[in-house]
Structure 1
Amino acid sequence: MRSSSLHRQQGITLVGLIFVLGLVGMVGVLALQIVPTAIEFMSIKKAIFAAKAGGNTPAEIKASFDRQATTGYIDSVSSKDLVLVKDGDTFEVSVAYQKKIPLVGPATLLLDYAATTAKGGVAKTPAL
């Protein structure tokens, strides 16, 4: 004998599953492109703090940064990109750069990175 009450099935359809998997895949590919730039930025932050501690003059600080960049596999910035501002007896080191990640066709993702050794994270402008 058949039951007179029909139970409605619940769940995701095949088309819905494909759509969700496509979205998860796109987010995953984007994350795989962003994570290496974020890791490199963390290496750059460590390198500018080590460079500040490793030198007292602009030339020593830049040479120290170059050594850190070589061992830390830093390719986005060099010692030429560092901004050094005298703050009393020491120098504050700052760096800012952009990273472009191509997406699809003409679309790109632009990431702005900035780091400084100044207290409070606010870099002063260099005196000319």
Structure 2
Amino acid sequence: MKKQGGVALSGLLFWSIILVLVAVLGMKVAPTFIEYQKILKDAKATVNQVGPESTVADVRRTFDKFAEIDMLDFKSSDLDVSKDGGKIVIEFAYEKRIPLFWNVSLLIDYKGSTAGS
């Protein structure tokens, strides 16, 4: 007589719960990561659009235009604008707190720079 192989109900429930928790976590984290990617894209587009002779105010104004198009809540006042070797470099860092359940939340530190572009 062959022994039947399969999944027990308890194993199925356990792995289903794990899968649902990972999916919910992914659905909560994904929007913040997408927002970070948009901010980085807008910062790189700003550096590409403005010239090396631009002022900090010009850079912030240009970033605000890109951020308005992408509907970002991130403000240009949170950017650190500097020059490195005659090139404009934009850096930013911020925290995002994602409430998970009860009094448990996930804190993510996002940092970005246009120095590599």
Q: Is the 8 A contact 1:54 1:61 kept in 2?
A: no
Partner of 1:73: 71
TM-score by length of 2: 0.89
User: 5 Å matches for 1:22-101?
Assistant: 22-55=17-50, 56-75=54-73, 77-101=74-98
- By percentage of residues, which structure has more strand? 2
CA distance in 2, matches of 1:47, 1:107: 32
Deviation at 1:53? Answer: 2.4
Q: Determine if the alignment matches structure 1 residue 9 to structure 2 residue 7.
A: no
Distance across 1 between alignment mates of 2:85 and 2:10: 65
Q: Which runs of 5+ in 2 are unaligned?
A: none
Distance in structure 2 (CA, Å) of the matches to 1:26 and 1:42: 24
Task: Specify the alignment match of 1:107 in structure 2.
Answer: 104
**What percentage of residue pairs aligned between the two structures are identical?**
35
Partners of 1:46 and 1:34 lie apart in 2 by 19
Q: Give the whole-Å Cα distance in 2 for the aligned partners of 1:54 and 1:91.
A: 11
Contact 1:93 1:117 in 2 (8 A): yes
Per-residue deviation, 1:96: 0.7
Q: Which has the larger radius of gyration?
A: 1
Correspondence for 1:19 = 14
**Over the residues paired in the alignment, what is the CA RMSD in angstroms?**
1.5
Which structure has more RCO (C-alpha within 8 Å, separation ≥ 6)? Answer: 2
CA shift for structure 1 position 73:
2.0
